[in-house]
């Protein structure tokens, strides 16, 4: 992906959001939160419920049945149905797809991410709290009250950290262009470095904060993308004190070798020109001094 690429949900095109499998308890609560946040929901997709409505949201049997074609689909299908739901949305030409479920089988995630990418869709997740864009709305469950409008783009691998970091920045008066939880699994639709590359061309982004973690090699791809990046990039890696070969929190956070540990990743990020921060308090202090964010 070139630096000229753009995140489809940050273009000028108005959001038209469909929710796939909205009728479960968790999804229904999410729908209520998104409506409260001003997210423009146009349809729900629930097989067998077409022609009815849920909390004022019209329901259709399939994504292709929606009379107003969505450009964003939020998938609340249980883990075993995620692959087919993502593929159906990708084949319908939906630009942004978000898969919420945790515990999606790796082979299903590989198939879903490959099909979404081939269709040109931007897949967020699986295993994600979603995305919040001030002034546009909420996709998922990042609390809008934790956020405030600003020029800092946040790319985060941990959902808990996404919430905590946004809240601390907001309390310190540092606003966010976007808070993006990219997904906690080892296999996700789009990796952190792809978000970074897209922010190069985003005039509303003045700086980027990346919150990485132990496990996998996503930080090395991010470091390569950060080399020569035209805006300040701040980076932290959580799990600096995690033991090797012990899974920490979710599927993606597991140190299988020294290369997957925090120390090696921080060294690579620093060598690429990222400004290293050692935790949320340090991030707030450093970002608070950046005039571009004030």
Catalytic site residues? 250
What's the rounded Cα separation, in Å, for the pair 255 and 277?
20
DSSP H or E run through 279 = none
Instruction: For residue 126, say if its preceding peptide bond is cis, omega within 30 degrees of 0.
Output: yes
What is each CA distance from 119 to 91, 126, 288, in whole angstroms?
Answer: 7, 17, 40
What does DSSP say about strands 96-99 and 57-60: parallel, antiparallel, or unpaired?
A: unpaired
DSSP H or E run through 36 = helix 25-36
Q: Give the residue carrying structure tokens 């308890």.
A: 25
What does DSSP say about strands 130-133 and 57-60: parallel, antiparallel, or unpaired?
A: unpaired
Q: Which two tokens stand for residue 9?
A: 């949900």
Residues in the chain: 294
Q: Are the CB atoms for 15 and 72 separated by under 8 Å?
A: yes
- How many CB atoms within 10 Å of residue 290? 16
Helix, strand and coil percent figures for the chain, each rounded to 5: 35, 20, 45
What does DSSP say about strands 96-99 and 122-124: parallel, antiparallel, or unpaired?
A: parallel
Long-range contacts of the stretch 281-285 (C-beta < 8 A, 24+): 281/168, 282/236, 283/165, 283/168, 283/169, 283/209, 283/234, 283/236, 284/168, 284/169, 284/172, 284/174
């Amino acid at each position: 992906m070139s630096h000229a690429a753009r995140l489809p949900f940050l273009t000028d095109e108005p959001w038209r959001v469909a929710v796939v499998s909205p009728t479960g308890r968790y999804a229904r609560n999410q729908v209520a939160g998104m409506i409260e946040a001003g997210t423009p929901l146009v349809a729900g997709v629930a097989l067998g419920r077409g022609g009815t409505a849920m909390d004022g949201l019209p329901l259709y049997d399939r994504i292709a049945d929606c009379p107003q074609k969505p450009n964003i689909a939020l998938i609340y299908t249980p883990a075993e149905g995620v692959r087919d739901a993502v593929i159906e949305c990708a084949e319908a030409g939906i630009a942004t797809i978000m898969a919420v479920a945790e515990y999606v089988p790796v082979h299903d995630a590989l198939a879903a991410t490959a099909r979404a990418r081939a269709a040109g869709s931007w897949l967020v997740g699986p295993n994600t709290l979603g995305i919040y864009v001030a002034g546009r709305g909420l996709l998922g469950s990042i609390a809008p009250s934790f956020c405030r409008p600003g020029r800092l783009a946040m790319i985060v691998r941990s959902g808990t950290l996404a919430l905590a970091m946004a809240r601390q920045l907001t309390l310190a008066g540092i606003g966010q262009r976007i808070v993006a939880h990219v997904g906690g699994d080892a296999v996700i639709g789009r990796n952190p470095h792809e978000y970074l590359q897209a922010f190069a061309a985003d005039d509303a982004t003045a700086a980027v904060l990346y919150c990485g973690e132990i496990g996998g090699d996503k930080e090395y791809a991010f470091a390569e993308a950060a080399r020569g990046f035209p805006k300040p990039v701040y980076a932290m890696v959580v799990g600096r004190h995690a033991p090797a070969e012990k899974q920490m929190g979710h599927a993606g956070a597991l140190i299988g070798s020294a290369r997957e540990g925090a120390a090696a990743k921080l060294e690579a990020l620093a060598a690429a020109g990222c400004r290293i921060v050692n935790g949320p308090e340090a991030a707030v202090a450093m970002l608070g001094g950046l005039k571009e964010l004030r």
